[in-house]
Each structure stands twice: as C-alpha cells, then as structure tokens.
Amino acid sequence: MDNLMCLGYAVAGYIRYWLLNSDYKQTIGDRVEISSPLNSWRKVTEGAYLYSEGINPYLGENFHETPLGLFVFHKMISNIPQLTGFIFIVCDLITAHVLYHTAQLFMSELFSRQMREKEKYAKDAETLLLKQSDLVLPPVYVASAYLFNPYIIFSCISQTTTVFANLCLAFTFLLMIKGKRLACCSVLALATLQSLYPVILLVPASIYIAKAESRRSLRCSSFILTAVTFITALHLLLYISLKLAGGWEFLHATHGFILNVPDLQPNVGLFWYFFTEMFENFRLLFICAFQINATVLYLIPLTLRFHGEPMLLATSLTALTAIFKSYPTLGDVGFYLALLPMWKHLFKYMQQGFVVGCSFLSTSVMGPVVWHLWIYSRSANANFYFGVTLAFATAQIFLVTDILFAYIKREFSLFHGLHREVNGKTTKLVLE
C-alpha cells in the first residue's frame, strides 16, 4: 500500500508539473471558476511589487492577501521565483498526505467506537458493522480524491492561494482529531486570518479536544480554554500583521472585502448575481442575510445533531461554507469532496448519488461553455451563467444533505435493527 501511495504522489506531482509548464497554464489561470479576487496569484504579484517599491498595497482595491501572506509571498517571489511552481506542487502533495493520515486516524477512531458500543446495537445490524479490512481503503481514496481531483489540480496550476488555505485546513483537521489544542488553534487562527470563514470550525475542534481530554463527559472548561487559545492565537497573528503592514488598513482590504463583497466579478458562488441585480438601498440587509447563511445559520442545528460525530460536523460546515461564501472557487469544493471517502460505509444509504454526479459533470462542462457564449460570442447573458452556478450550488446542497441523511439512517438501523414492521407489515425508513 505504501508503494502504491508513493506512486500516486509521483504521478500527481508529474501531472501538476507538466501542466505548470504547458500552454494550458494561462488559460486555466484566467478562469473565474478557479481564480477570484481573493486567491488570484496575479494580484499577489502586483501586491508584492508594490510592497517592494515601498508602496502600501492595501491603499488600493486590488490586493486582498494578509500582511503575513504578503511578507511570505514577497520573499518567495524575490528570492526563489524559479521555485514558485514547485512550492505549490509540494504544498498540494503535503495536503494530500495530511488528509491521508487524518483519514487513517478517523477510521481507527470509528472502529474503536463501534467496538465500545457494539453491545447496544440491534442483533440484526451485524451486516452494518465495519470490519478491520474496511479501514484500509478509505484513507487511500481520500488522498487519491485530492491528488487527482481536477478542481484541485486546476487550483494548483493557477497558483491560487487556495492551495495554502487547503493546507491549513488539512492540518486543522489532523490536529483536531489528535486533540492537540495549541497547534490546532494556531493553525485554525491562521486559516481564519486568511479567509475568515474557517472560524466556525472552532466548534467541532473544541468538541474533539474535549473528547480527547475526557472520555467520559465533555467539560465546559475545555471548551472555554480552546476558545481562549484560539482567540489568543488570532490576536497574536493580527498583531504580527499590524507590525508588517504598519497600520490597520489590511483589515478593510481582507476581512472587510470578504464581508462587504464590493467586487462582483462572476464566480461559482451566489453572491455576485444577487448583488448585481439588487437595489442599493437593500444592500446591507442582503449582506447580513447572505453572510449569516454562510457562517452561523447552520452551525447550531448541525452541532446539536452531530456533536457525537465532530469530523462529519466539520466536513459539513466546510462544505456549506464552500457553497455559500462570498468568493468561492473550485479549489474550495475539491477540498471537502476529498474528505467524503471517509464515510464510504454510508454511500449505500445515499439516494442522490446519480443526480449529484450528473449535475457536477454537466455544470463543470457547461460553465466554460456558457461563459464563452456570454463574454466572447455575446449570444448569452449573465442569466445563463448564473443558471449554471445555481445548479452547481444545488448539486452541492443535495450532496451534503444526502450524506447527513445517510448517517442518520445508518445510525437508526444500528440501534433499531434492519427489519421494521408497522401493523404486521414491513416498512421502509424514509427521511423527508
């Protein structure tokens, strides 16, 4: 298995290296589905140039990377420009390897919990139980789903900063499942500083850390300590950013840009079309409604229902953020798609797999086609492209709800059995 994984890393690295040095790089990098104002490498190079000339890049409207990122990228561009593409490839491979280890730990945890609760399960639920052999392939599938996902490959080829955001998220998931409070909160603070939305992962991280410290019950003091650690790490990063930037202008250019959505360049999200068509008088109302929907709206209900499965909770929140955030890209979608093989045992309970698969395939093809018809041929308009992005978002929502319902169905069957009768007749469990 180790030899197979090494071969997979080598092949995935070669694919990325070949595309980075091909004529397709510029074409892929210009796609609005891949690059956004927040993650575009072109904007990073512009900001680094202004920084090298002694000009504050945050005084304009084109640069939206954090001061910490600006400092690192400036050093990278100035000192080792020939290794920039190689760094992106290595970071992508490291992310896949971190997710591989995360999946290994999760599958072991899942099997251990199953053994502890086995006596509580129904007698006829034996066929639903995971076997030791079922723990081997899911981590391989997770790494493969990240290494060979076109969404992830295109993000790496475009040299978007989503590559580094995914790396931070991957380490957050790994440190979360290990119960490492300080390291997890520090990496999560770094991810939050970059793109704001990962802050909601503090809830599943707190649950995991509390479970690691106390196997019997979740203690409130553990949650408070985790929150304080995260806030302290975030304030430290903000202080470092303040010293690097020489002022607080970067907050308006980074987090303010994410929250206010001033740039309405089309993307795979839902913000741009609504705010293009909306009356300016209602902008603040819709900004608040859309941002609440992208952050805290689903946090409390999902936490109350899936607090016993914090990894599924974290994945669901990551997926919902990728769907509803203000400037989503395909790299965000590819990250949570790579996590889904950890719940391979739930796939047989899913009912929308065919519809979701066809929707992903058709929208991925139709997006560039409709964009060409709209921008270049002038035979379509914004409604056509938004229709594709709306279908893409709908497919993702179906996927998330399907995996959550599948978990509930399996959990119900484990404790109540596979065969159910009402008034002497066999019934089927249907969630509506």
Handedness of CA 55, 85, 16, 171 (dihedral sign): negative
Q: CA 269 to CA 265: how far, in whole Å?
A: 10
Nearby residues of 35 by Cβ (< 8 Å), 6 or more positions away: 29, 41, 42, 158, 160, 329
DSSP code, position 343: G
235 is a domain residue: yes
- From residue 374, give the alpha-carbon distance in Å to each of 345, 361, 364, 384: 42, 20, 16, 8
pLDDT on residue 427: 61
Per the structure, how many domains does the chain have?
1
Q: Is residue 432 part of a domain?
A: no
Distance between CA 48 and CA 87 in Å, rounded?
17
Query: Residue 196: left (phi > 0), alpha (psi -120 to 50), or beta?
Result: left
Angle between helices 137-147 and 330-339 (to 10 degrees): 170
Segments forming the whole domain that contains residue 366: 2-426
SS3 61: coil
The pLDDT, as a whole number, for residue 374 is 93
pLDDT tens-digit map of 208-250 = 998 887 655 567 888 899 999 999 999 999 999 999 988 898 9
CA-to-CA dists, residue 189 to 51, 116, 238, 278, 334, angstroms:
24, 34, 10, 34, 22
Written as tens digits, the pLDDT of the chain (432 aa) is 677 778 889 999 999 999 998 888 888 888 999 999 999 999 999 999 998 888 889 987 888 999 999 999 999 999 998 999 999 999 999 999 999 999 999 999 999 888 888 888 887 778 888 888 888 899 999 999 999 999 999 999 999 999 999 999 999 999 999 999 999 999 999 999 999 999 999 999 999 998 887 655 567 888 899 999 999 999 999 999 999 988 898 999 999 999 999 999 999 999 999 998 888 888 999 999 999 999 899 999 999 999 989 999 999 999 999 999 999 999 999 999 999 999 999 998 898 999 999 999 999 999 999 999 999 988 888 999 999 999 999 999 999 999 999 999 999 888 877 766 555 566 665 655
Residue type, 323: I
Tell me the C-alpha distance between 267 and 39, whole Å: 12
CB of 131 within 8 A of CB of 150?
Answer: no
> Rounded to an integer, what distance in angstroms lies between the CA atom of residue 255 and that of residue 230?
17
Domain-embedded: residue 410: yes
What is the three-class DSSP state of 426? Answer: strand
Read off the tokens for 360: 């992903």
Q: Read off the tokens for 185.
A: 């909160």
Predicted pLDDT of residue 400: 96
Q: How far is CA 26 from CA 19, 22, 34, 92, 250, in A?
A: 10, 9, 12, 19, 29
Task: Please state, in angstroms and rounded to a whole number, the distance separating the CA atoms of residues 342 and 357.
Answer: 18
In a domain, 431, yes or no: no
Per-residue pLDDT at 270: 92
Name residues whose C-beta falls within 8 Å of residue 360's C-beta, 6 or more positions apart in sequence.
Answer: 392, 395
Residue 207 domain-assigned?
Answer: yes
| Distance, CA of 210 to chain centre | 23
Task: Round to whole Å and give the CA distance between 266 and 331.
Answer: 16
- Determine the Cα–Cα distance for residues 303 and 314; give it in Å rounded to an integer: 9
Q: Which two tokens stand for residue 124?
A: 């006829």
Find out whether 50 and 57 touch, Cβ atoms under 8 Å: yes
State the residue for tokens 């992962």. Answer: 201
* Residue among 162, 190, 89 nearest 328 (CA): 162
Our CA dihedral for 90, 188, 343, 13, rounded to 10 degrees, sits at -10
- Residue 430 tokens read as 């249907």
Query: Helix or strand or coil: residue 32?
Result: coil
